[in-house]
Amino acid sequence: MYSFLEQSSLILQEAGKVGQIDPNVMQLLEAPQRVISFRIPLKMDDGSFRVFDAHRVRYNDALGPTRDGTRISPELDLDEVKALALIMSVKHAAGKIPAGGGKGGIAADPKALSGREFEALCRGYMRHLHSSGSAYDVPGADVGTNLQTMSWMLDEFESIHNRHEPTAVNDKPPILGGTLGGYEATGSGVFEVFEEAAREIGLEIEGARVAIQGFGQVGAVAAQRFFAAGCKVIAISDSRGGVFSENGIDVPSLIEHKQTTGQVLGLEGTHGVTNEELIACDCDVLVPAALQGVITSDNAVHVKARLVVEAANAPTTMEADRILAEKGVTVVPDVLANAGSVHLCQMERTQGLYDNYWDEATINQFRRERLSGGFHAALNTAARYQVTSARIGAWINALKRMEEAIKMRGWC
């Protein structure tokens, strides 16, 4: 089994080969342009002292300043950050966003820190990162970070540089120069790309049977959109287990149930399922919206869905991707399906630079148009290069744009 980084590199190589990308460009793209690893010292509440490892990877900035998330998790390692930074480069380029891919993070468990310790850690990250601001590299949120952490990071940046610069950080709240629609962007986008894909394969949206793994920010918002459109959401899971109902789950009731009990298990009218059962259940649409590497060579053979919509980053391994293709399952890849957030960050930046803020309807329309454009462009490219994979189509589109920018800059 390939590691996350190996898998991302293999997709890169395959798209480069099929898309006939210049070997010199491929040589440049086979590893990140800049990697910084640093250590954040922290005085703990009990008087002890700890040091936290942190990283920031700027994969390639030929198309514009590097941008995107900051992951704070105990298992975080540099290879994971590199893989995510590569995926972000592709996501931006495939969506025609003038940005490079960046990713960063801290190896720490936010739940094991007090409020003061966590704030000091986030501020320490920004201080030790030595960020130069919005024209260079723009950290955003990811697993373990949110509106509050991004606000602390922005405040730290602005204090160091003695100026207001809201575009130095993404995923901040509207009151500090962020954008409306941030929470819903990815989950709603997942549903909107599903709609496009369903039309392509002739799947009726009303009554479509949907199974969703993950009921957090992305999975829960997507579930509400599927439910509101008349799909039958038959299975939903979170880290504690899943629920199933042949007649369809009442998603608003599940949201309330999760708010009260902290889990999806136990919702009236449903029975419990394991994650493996959810992946193999008799549905039309499978939406992995939790973790990477969950559809593997072991369980891909059991997938019954006609359509897999990758809401999480890299949920399908390469071997599983091949098995699904052989079975005739259509996979909408992560770089298209969950790109709602990168389009939102582009809107956040544009509004911040102009100091002029848009209403939610404008934002939603922009997101929907951009997602649809990226999806169809990937399908067209896949057809042109005679491959069935929308993933390879999207990666080729991204690589072509990076190649052009790299060559125009005279880098190779």
Largest CA distance in the chain: 63
Q: Shortest distance, CB of residue 385 to ligand NAD, whole angstroms?
A: 26
Q: Shortest distance, CB of residue 327 to ligand NAD, whole angstroms?
A: 23
Report CA-CA distances (Å) from 290 to 157, 268, 307: 31, 23, 17
| Nearest CA among 312, 366, 288 for reference residue 142 | 312
Q: Shortest distance, CB of residue 312 to ligand NAD, whole angstroms?
A: 3
Q: Specify the stretch interacting with ligand NAD by CB under 6 A; choose among 50-58, 112-120, 234-242, 368-376.
A: 234-242
Number of chain residues interacting with ligand NAD (CB under 6 A): 21
Interface with ligand NAD, residue 173, by CB under 6 A: no
Give the contact letters, 123-162, x = binds to ligand NAD (CB under 6 A), - = no.
--------------------x-------------------
As a whole number of angstroms, the distance between CA 68 and CA 170 comes to: 7
Overall residue count recorded for the chain in this entry: 412
Of 167, 179, 237, 381, the residue at the interface with ligand NAD (CB under 6 A) is: 237
Interface with ligand NAD, residue 325, by CB under 6 A: no
Q: Specify the stretch interacting with ligand NAD by CB under 6 A; choose among 29-37, 44-52, 232-240, 246-254.
A: 232-240
Interface with ligand NAD, residue 188, by CB under 6 A: no
Interface with ligand NAD, residue 89, by CB under 6 A: no
Q: Shortest distance, CB of residue 288 to ligand NAD, whole angstroms?
A: 8
| Touching ligand NAD, residues 339-398 (CB under 6 A) | 341
Interface with ligand NAD, residue 217, by CB under 6 A: yes
- Distant-in-sequence, close-in-space partners of 242: CB < 8 Å, separation ≥ 6: 213, 235, 236, 264, 265, 272, 273, 274, 275, 277, 278
Residues belonging to the active site = 103
- Distant-in-sequence, close-in-space partners of 313: CB < 8 Å, separation ≥ 6: 84, 87, 292, 334, 338
Taking residue 8's Cβ as centre, other Cβ atoms within 10 Å add up to: 24
Q: Both ends of the chain: CA-CA distance in Å?
A: 34
Interface with ligand NAD, residue 286, by CB under 6 A: no
| Nearest CA among 226, 270, 219 for reference residue 246 | 270
DSSP sequence for 28-45:
HHTS-SEEEEEEEEEE-T
Of 291, 319, 366, 385, the residue at the interface with ligand NAD (CB under 6 A) is: 291
Interface with ligand NAD by CB under 6 A: which residues? 143, 186, 213-219, 237-239, 275, 289-291, 311-313, 338, 341
